[in-house]
Structure 1
């Protein structure tokens, strides 16, 4: 790295939900900027090939099992991460899920699955990492939200509630932990093609509709998130905390034409 503001050499970053999708995008970006990684997934074996990929980049990669819906699992993971790697400088709180249904069809169990994973899990992972960051007087916590943190979409009621909660949680934790040298920010992607929403992207008519509503006229690509996560994880964002950074091609502007 030629710019020390974005250099993560010598730092360790923990990325949750790293067996696929956005978690791997974030992890690769941090590794490319010099960070060693702790990667988590509910099934540790699901991380095997990705660990090999990161190690081939010349970085250390430690795979750990984590179920963010289980308090004991969170506590065990945090202890194992500290024992294996010592100081953890960065947390990317990425693990999440969704159940896409009309609001009238959402069940009690659907709601609990989404909120327990996306919101409760994110809080308690952040809490465990912050307890280990406080003694060092330094930390970067990046909570992964969504454009649904600030914008409503039919069919995503519990998901949007969980991501809106992430935005509020980010502000509260930033205020709580800023005095300890820990910044807490929310990275909110817009519409990216992931395993969760593959069914939508198989519909060409829907994709055209989506592109029409995005001011830059295309869905997000992995490279669009790389700079943002490194920025929030590095020294370059040292005076930024409690903020939500939308990486959405502008769809959160409302993206509704007022002219023909």
Structure 2
């Protein structure tokens, strides 16, 4: 198999929530594979800083600042890209938040906010991208799932439900859009060293639990998602659709 199958030259990838963390790592990795990158976030200063840093490293970067949970803003962002002649070949639905609270104390508004950003936004952004991909007869959608797409953990019920939904949304996308030559898959990260997990990383008991529960006995690093992202974004995965690939050090495979 030729490694040119993994070459993303000439492709444009939109990664939501890509000014930092897992999104930033995947954006940099896709750029190194040849893709032009559309960076997204809601913090203008952080987004611009990330874009400038990536550009200095040699990436071709476009900034698209919009809130993924605002449907009108998502539609307007895609219309703006259309007007600028930017066709999104690869979408990575990465934007997400976490909210930890026992269900008995959980307010409905907090539940809804997590569902809106982690699940509904992936549908809305995915729909807008897929409309354009379908018209061109090709496209790649990568949703970011989680270990909680398979397993529950106390105090993160809305996140667990949203990520379980991401697994099935991915399959629904594959079922409906496969005939349009759109492949939809998901990556399920394990416990990763990110800002979102800072409180867990600094908790000695939780740190020990993660390392004890993970066969590789360590946390994952954001850059360790890059190989899977490139594979799912490239022609190497043209007959792969509806799948979730767990990048978790083996955690989801063991009791």
Of stretches 102-111 and 235-244 in structure 1, the one that deviates more from structure 2 is 102-111
Matches within 5 A, 1:86-165: 86-165=86-165
Match status 1:231 vs 2:234: no
Runs of 4+ aligned residues of structure 1 deviating over 3 Å after TM superposition are none
What's the TM-score once normalised by structure 1's chain length? 0.94
Q: TM-score, normalised by structure 2?
A: 0.96
Cα distance change, pair 193–136 in 1 and its aligned pair in 2 (3 A): same
1:83-127, CA deviations, whole angstroms, 9 ceiling, x for partnerless residues?
Answer: 334221100001111101122221111101000111111100000
Q: Distance in 2 between matches of 1:55 and 1:122?
A: 27
Write the distance in 1 (CA, Å) between the matches of 2:181 and 2:45.
35
- Is it true that 1:196 corresponds to 2:187 in the alignment? no
Residue 43 of structure 2: aligned partner = 43
Name the SS for the 1:245 alignment partner.
strand
- Separation in structure 2 between the aligned mates of residue 171 and residue 118 of structure 1, nearest angstrom: 16
**Which stretch shifts more, 216-225 or 118-127?**
216-225
Q: Cα gap change, 1:180/1:151 in structure 2, threshold over 3 Å: closer, same or farther?
A: same
Unaligned runs of 5+ in 1: none
For the Cα contact (< 8 Å) 1:6–1:231, is it kept in 2? yes
Count of residues in correspondence between the two structures: 254
* Separation (CA, whole Å) in 2 of partners of 1:57 and 1:177: 35
- Does residue 209 (structure 1) correspond to residue 205 (structure 2)? The answer is no
Which residue of structure 2 aligns with residue 7 of structure 1?
A: 7
Following superposition, the deviation at residue 48 of structure 1 comes to 1.2
Aligned counterpart, 1:70: 70
Deviations for 1:122-174, whole angstroms, at most 9, x for unmatched residues? Answer: 10000000011111111000001111111111111110000000000000111
Quick one: distance in 1 between partners of 2:43 and 2:206?
33
RMSD: 1.2
How far the C-alpha of 1:221 sits from its partner, in A, is 1.0
Identify the range of structure 1 (82-91 vs 232-241) with the bigger mean alpha-carbon deviation. Answer: 82-91
Work out the CA distance in 1 between the residues paired with 2:209 and 2:136: 48
Aligned partner of residue 64 in structure 2, secondary structure? strand
Gaps of 5+ in 2: none
**Retained in 2: the 8 A contact 1:43–1:66?**
no
Q: What CA deviation, in whole Å up to 9, does each residue of 1:40-70 have, x standing for no partner?
A: 1113332111111221232221111111121
C-alpha contact (below 8 Å) 2:193/2:222 kept by paired residues: no
Rounded to whole Å, the distance in 2 between the matches of 1:235 and 1:167 is 22
Q: Would you say the 8 A contact 2:40–2:63 is kept in 1?
A: yes
